[in-house]
Amino acid sequence: MVGGESDAGAVSGSELGKPEPKKLIADGSNAEFVPPDRVIFARASTLMAQTIDVGKLVTKGDHTPLPLGRVAYWSNRESPDNSG
């Protein structure tokens, strides 16, 4: 499981059945696990990819910006034009 809820501005992961998350990335948000061993996350307005060792829950190598240009996101409560 990967998420960012346990520490504001951080991406954390945990094993199913183990309640304590482990910080994987200090300055990322909106993370998603992409099998078999990648985490995709936002950093500022850049989409990034990071390889992880899923058995040890540690990052491997450097993170890489994805060549998609700038990204934006919003919560379900707001729309991009703020009209609801």
- State mean pLDDT over 44-49: 88
pTM exceeding 0.85: no
Residue 75: per-residue pLDDT: 56
- State mean pLDDT over 9-34: 87
Dist CA 52 CA 35 (whole Å): 10
- Residue 52 in this model has a pLDDT that exceeds 70: yes
- Residue 12 in this model has a pLDDT that exceeds 70: yes
Dist CA 74 CA 38 (whole Å): 23
